[in-house]
Structure 1
Amino acid sequence: MTTHSALIVDDEPDIRDLLEITLTRMGITTHTAADVTTAKALLEKHQPQLCLTDMNLPDGNGIDLVHWIQQHVPNTPVAVITAYGCMETAIESLKAGAFDFVSKPVELPRLRELVNCALKLSEPEVQASTSSDEPGLLLGDSPQIRKLRNQTRKLARSQAPVFISGESGSGKELVARMIHLQGPRCSGPFIAVNCGAIPSELMESEFFGHKKGSFTGAVENKDGLFRSADGGTLFLDEVADLPLAMQVKLLRAIQEKAVRPVGDTKEIPVDIRVLSATHKNLVELVQDGSFRQDLFYRINVIELAVPPLRERVDDISLLANHILERIAREYECPAATLTPAAIERLKSYQFPGNVRELENILERAFTLCDDERIGAEDLHLNGGVAPAGSMPTEPVESPVASSTDEPLVPDGEIDLEGYLESIERQAIEKALEATRWNKTAAARRLGISFRALRYRLKKLGMD
């Protein structure tokens, strides 16, 4: 069994003793120092798996020590002990490269969580994931994507809140997931939530949970997103869409590392790392008063920018082939390849929707091409014109129309996506029945390719 070691740096003997006793009971070998000079010597000699340092020391401060550790023993995570309520100092230490922080008076349960999380960084699987240049989820060989992968590996070793900026569809959630998977919380949950998709009246319950009977419809207890992410990572996508009232409650939950479910009287501690993202300009939103400045500083400790696809054109071919292979696996069809002309057409396109748009373009082209090769004309990037072959060439009896004069679309609220899917399903069933379930003939009757029919059968669960 590997024995872990830690360095405790504090000029107050009582604090040193408390921390030493706590860590020793956790089975950790401890070394102590009362000043920066002694700490540096011990760090070089022992290279411990963790350093806990006070902010104010006789010959320097904790921030200076954090900087020194980043340069000389970068594999040793360092946590800073700050004065109670001094959030500016805590954020400064995180920006300097600290793994995490803990406030005085030190709460021992919180300290143990921090120590256990930091020690996981020395585990072989975490070290391997943060030292290799494996692409993981972030595919590409361009300088921009290599830089991004390097940044995610470094940030994975920290517990600092990261704000991920970038255009819609550029892959912000993938970046957040990579930070989670390469860090000490990789065995814990990764909970992603689109803040703009939650109705404002349900936000508090969705984030913090509720007690049974706390409001009409609360028929059972609910944990909420924060508690569901306990021990892992909570990714707040489109955080700019949060209303101001919810921003206040979110800030408190992040700072106190605790939540109070709706209808409850006590707070419940949570151990999570918060990552956030939006395609909007948060600085402008802070300036116009629609986003709280204090929350901005709390979630934007470190900003990570995801480049748009048009700025890494060299990655398009690799990404496209990967997407086509995935589509083929999902729909159990032979893989399609792009012609050189199709690749050049993709490289010259601006991709306002980024990687997500590339996926949509290729999925459409995959279903409409007649063989296993996708040409430039199959991409339909000129817009405005319906793809050739997308409309039936033979008359197909409407699956929903009848001799009555009932309207095609019913009155009142409808699930449009589900309604259109039902029309498609009925049209396919009619074509299959008319051709005695000969898929090739049914595809011809529907005016689509055999590949397109197989894709739709799989998508609709009719295969």
Structure 2
Amino acid sequence: MYRVLVVDDDDQMRMALNATLKHLNHSPVVAKNAKEALKLIKKEDFDVIISDLKMPKMDGIEFLSEVKKIKKDIPFIMITAFGDVKTAVEAMKLGAFDFILKPFSQEALQKVLHLAVSHKTIKKSTTQKNDTPFAFIYKSKQMEKIVNLASKVAKTDATVLLIGESGTGKEVLAKYIHSQSPRCNSKFVAVNCAAIPSNLLESEMFGYEKGSFSGATKTHKGKFEQANKGTLLLDEITEMPLELQAKLLRVIQEKVIDRIGGVEPIKVDVRIICTTNRNIEDYVKEGKFREDLYYRISVFPITIPPLRERKEDIPLLAEHFLKQFSSSFGKNIEKIDDSAMEILINYPWPGNIRELQNVIERAVVLCDKDKLTKEDIYLHNMG
């Protein structure tokens, strides 16, 4: 249950939000304008603020600015109409956690509330002192070294290669590096090289000109242009076709891209982070990955160990996911008992953190007590 401050000058919207939040088992407090809300914030504590963007006298942007002066760590969610999305994005740059478009469902509201409060919890749980929305939950010395390495390389423009099994948190680490870099106020754009069909990957990465092929009814900017001045994550880069690897090498070396059907090369200023769950050196030996590209992307390699090699992180992560899903599903499950925790610690976690998250989610759904027990834990690969 979250204590939520709702700020909206529209009586009907304010009443509707109040009723919806109560239905979702939260504790709402309402204010009809920003000045009234600021008085409440100075006197009381809230888990999250939901505010309309357009309000008389003091609008949502001005209100956000004042809130950050008083209590900068309160997650702030903006409510906006479709036509004001650009302004809402500006609000996120000023410190808002997210925005939701009118009209929105109960599910959408619950999801963004949960993410906002989880973000705050993660920042408090981590041993990192950096004020970042992409901090890690960890206790192990291995992860402490990795986060320290990531913090150092973040200050540079060096290309980073993140290596690790699926579910270890490679994309989260990539976002952390971006958030700590001089490019943090520009876009973080991700391309999943394994999920996009090879015949579409080139147009997705480099874009295309109007009329360059059947169906190209307008010019499309690719991921490199979208990430200009920011960071581009090439997720699972070892799945990229060889012919595209050659074009990527040119982009990295010359810092220009060619749209499909384009005449003039386009300059791009992008910091590249790559990930792989493969043994990339074996791929190079087998001729599946270009050796020259490998040396270009592995300027600063970081290997994230699997969860089974850092067991001391399991209780902290499990407790975090318990709080997360217990809140999401409106349950009051306070702890994981010793027998259940022993099973979690001794399990090898082939799917790593992602699998642990799924197991805890299922356990919370099944649990009808105030703590998780071993009867609630279901593991696919237990013999």
Normalization by structure 2: what TM-score? 0.64
Distance 1:317 1:137 in 2: 17
Q: Which runs of 5+ in 2 are unaligned?
A: 1-126
Q: Corresponding residue for 1:165?
A: 163
Q: Corresponding residue for 2:245?
A: 247
Q: Larger Cα Rg: Structure 1 or Structure 2?
A: 1
| Residues 164/378 of structure 1: CA separation in 2 closer, same or farther (3 Å cut) | same
Q: Corresponding residue for 1:367?
A: 365
Q: Corresponding residue for 1:144?
A: 142
Equivalent residues of 2:134, 2:179 under 8 A apart: no
Equivalent residues of 2:257, 2:265 under 8 A apart: yes
Alignment of 1:83-94 (within 5 A): none
| Residues 383/281 of structure 1: CA separation in 2 closer, same or farther (3 Å cut) | closer
Q: What is the CA-CA distance between 1:241 and the residue it aligns to? A: 0.3
Distance 2:142 2:265 in 1: 43
Q: What is the CA-CA distance between 1:347 and the residue it aligns to? A: 0.5
Distance 1:288 1:144 in 2: 31
Partner amino acid, structure 2, of 1:195 = C
| Residues 234/130 of structure 1: CA separation in 2 closer, same or farther (3 Å cut) | farther
Equivalent residues of 1:189, 1:229 under 8 A apart: yes
Partner amino acid, structure 2, of 1:223 = K
Distance 2:305 2:370 in 1: 31
Alignment of 1:53-452 (within 5 A): 132=130, 136-381=134-379, 383=381
Q: Corresponding residue for 1:106?
A: none
SS of 2:194's equivalent in the other structure is helix
Distance 1:329 1:195 in 2: 34
| Residues 318/269 of structure 1: CA separation in 2 closer, same or farther (3 Å cut) | same
Q: What is the CA-CA distance between 1:237 and the residue it aligns to? A: 0.8
Distance 1:134 1:229 in 2: 20
Equivalent residues of 1:130, 1:182 under 8 A apart: no
Question: Deviation string for 1:266-321 (max 9, x for gaps)?
Answer: 11111110000111011011011010011101101111010111111111111111
Q: More relative contact order in 1 or in 2 (CA 8 Å, sep 6+)?
A: 2
SS of 1:185's equivalent in the other structure is coil
| Residues 221/133 of structure 1: CA separation in 2 closer, same or farther (3 Å cut) | closer
Q: Corresponding residue for 1:105?
A: none
SS of 1:313's equivalent in the other structure is coil
Q: What is the CA-CA distance between 1:336 and the residue it aligns to? A: 4.8
Partner amino acid, structure 2, of 1:322 = H
Distance 2:133 2:225 in 1: 31
Q: What is the CA-CA distance between 1:204 and the residue it aligns to? A: 1.3
Partner amino acid, structure 1, of 2:174 = A
Q: Corresponding residue for 2:96?
A: none
Equivalent residues of 2:134, 2:175 under 8 A apart: no
Q: What is the CA-CA distance between 1:335 and the residue it aligns to? A: 4.4
Q: Which runs of 4+ in 1 moved over 6 A?
A: none
- Cα RMSD between the aligned structures? 2.1
The answer to which of 231-240 and 331-340 deviates more is: 331-340
Distance 1:255 1:334 in 2: 55
Q: What is the CA-CA distance between 1:328 and the residue it aligns to? A: 3.1
| Residues 258/332 of structure 1: CA separation in 2 closer, same or farther (3 Å cut) | farther
| Residues 212/263 of structure 1: CA separation in 2 closer, same or farther (3 Å cut) | same
Equivalent residues of 1:139, 1:145 under 8 A apart: no
Question: Deviation string for 1:230-277 (max 9, x for gaps)?
Answer: 111001111000010110111111111111111110111111100001
Normalization by structure 1: what TM-score? 0.53
Distance 2:271 2:238 in 1: 18
* Identical positions, percent: 45
| Residues 330/255 of structure 1: CA separation in 2 closer, same or farther (3 Å cut) | farther
Q: What is the CA-CA distance between 1:133 and the residue it aligns to? A: 9.2
State how many pairs are aligned.
Answer: 257
